[in-house]
Amino acid sequence: MILKPSAQDFKKIGYYIGKIIIGLSLVMLIPVIVALANREINPALDFLIGLEIGLILGIILTRFCSPQQDLGWMQGMVVVSFSWLVATILGAIPLYLSGHWNSFLDACFDAMSGFTTTGLALVRDLDHISLAHNLWRHLIIFIGGQGIVIIALSFFAKAAASGAFRLYVGEARDERIMPNVISTARFIWSVSIAYLVLGTFGLGISGVLNGMRPTSAFFHGLCVFMAAFDTGGFAPQSQNILYYHNPSLEIVIMIIMILGTINFRLHYNLWSGNAKEIFRNIEIRTFFFAVIITFLFVVAGLTQHLVYPCGMVLFRKGFFQLLSAQTGTGYMTIYAQQFLREWGDLALVGIIGAMALGGAVCSTTGAIKMLRIGIIFKAFCQHIKKIILPEGAIFSEKIHHIKEVFLDDKIALSASLITLAYLLLYVIGAIVGVFYGYPFLYSLFESTSASANVGLSCGITRPDMPLFLKLTYMFQMWAGRLEFISVFTLIGFFWALLKGKR
């Protein structure tokens, strides 16, 4: 029998969502300060309006929804999945008020794309948007990469240990780095901010050496770092990374993209002096093997069509796009239409495969992720061994992921189910694209990019694309970022609300 949610359930959920809304609202002070410093009065008002709306809503929720008990698993999952929807609406308010989006839905599309670190965009006339709005687009990627709920765990939500862990797991993270989840959240922010300083400096210097004004170079460096490290794909200019025409900048960006796709637990080990872990870890090994395989497809496709006769240009263009796809960043040094007109089907298959596989768990990237691919491969090998060896033989398979872990059926089944869910999500979006008249391969490209939170586009994502296709991609970005469980829990919660019994 399904039970209806109680008043206490709503109080728990409302309280923590209110805390998260307050946290996100206060972050809007950053673009307000930037706007005022650059005499952008109307943009400053846009963010003040968004901040005021958020604070009022957040204060109301926390005042009237003070819970008496700790969060349960169901409430924690609902808080996570619903808070991302609320954050999307809140984050879209100043974007829409800027006048650079055709509708509030388009602004919500870009806000969802930013928070989920996807990078698909419907913004108009990006090259003339205010500095404050441009910064906000990248700031929401930086927030989303670490996790919206991480804000609450780090600074605002006074959850008990069990409740905090349920929020943390609901946001598609199940690996504690430090002894408790609160310390883990703060470590993630510490690492991200440390890299932010170093990365912005490196990108800024590269921009200055390439002829940009220092203030512009470091602003662009800050924005590009936030999107590259958090594998988002938004860029300050409409031409994306192609705008810079700077090979040294592209090298720095590729390094940052790789850092963003590494598991935060591995970052902790590297910062602790355990550099050997990077050579032993199953995720890193699987990642580089996947990059090699998918890049061979890209090279074969580009060579077949003689797209880049010069080997160095082929590597520079082909590998950057491939690494951008594999890390889930979505940065481009070519125009979107070049995927269709020049690259050919085989190269697109390589890019789609890279996007579908993704990077590491407990990182800023999306998609299936390398740990699951490594587990499935190991489980397959284990099954073959069972067939080959005598029936009485006893053996066990282990994987090294920070520590030695015995591979059992439960781990293999969990990895297989999540992988299957992603594959279904990729195909469903492709079918919707085909329904609207797009070729299947191109529809699969765009669908995979949305579901895997990548942001590469072959030109389908446009302000004039069908309404239902926009909603489909938004759902894919949301479900793909949260890895389904908390999304399904939210759906079940509303079903219980409608059909459950007291």
**pLDDT tens for the 502 residues of the chain, in order:** 566 777 777 788 888 888 889 989 999 999 999 999 999 999 999 999 999 999 999 999 988 887 666 667 777 788 888 888 999 999 999 999 999 999 999 999 999 999 999 999 999 999 999 999 999 999 999 988 877 766 666 555 455 444 555 565 555 555 556 556 667 777 777 888 888 999 999 999 988 988 889 999 999 999 999 999 988 889 999 999 999 988 889 999 999 999 888 888 888 777 777 878 888 888 888 999 999 999 999 999 999 888 888 888 888 899 999 999 999 999 999 998 888 888 989 999 999 999 999 888 888 888 899 988 988 888 888 778 777 767 666 666 777 777 777 777 788 888 899 999 999 999 999 999 999 999 999 999 999 999 999 999 999 999 999 999 999 999 999 999 888 888 888 888 778 777 666 6
**Structure pTM?**
0.90
- Within a 10 A sphere around the Cβ of 197, how many other Cβ atoms? 11
3-state helix, strand, coil in the chain (%, to 5): 70, 0, 25
Return the closest-CA partner of residue 249 out of 209, 216, 219: 209
Angle value at C-alpha 455, between 437 and 332, nearest 5 degrees: 105
Angle value at C-alpha 233, between 264 and 465, nearest 5 degrees: 135
446, 456 contact by CB (below 8 A): no
Return the closest-CA partner of residue 486 out of 110, 157, 166: 166
> What pLDDT does residue 442 have?
95
In whole angstroms, give the CA distance from residue 454 to residue 231. Answer: 7
> What pLDDT does residue 204 have?
92
Structure tokens at 460: 């389908």
> What pLDDT does residue 160 have?
46
In whole angstroms, give the CA distance from residue 99 to residue 124. Answer: 9
- Within a 10 A sphere around the Cβ of 40, how many other Cβ atoms? 19
* Angle of the 467-482 helix axis to the 104-115 helix axis, nearest 10: 20
Structure tokens at 218: 């470091």
Three-state DSSP at 398 gives strand
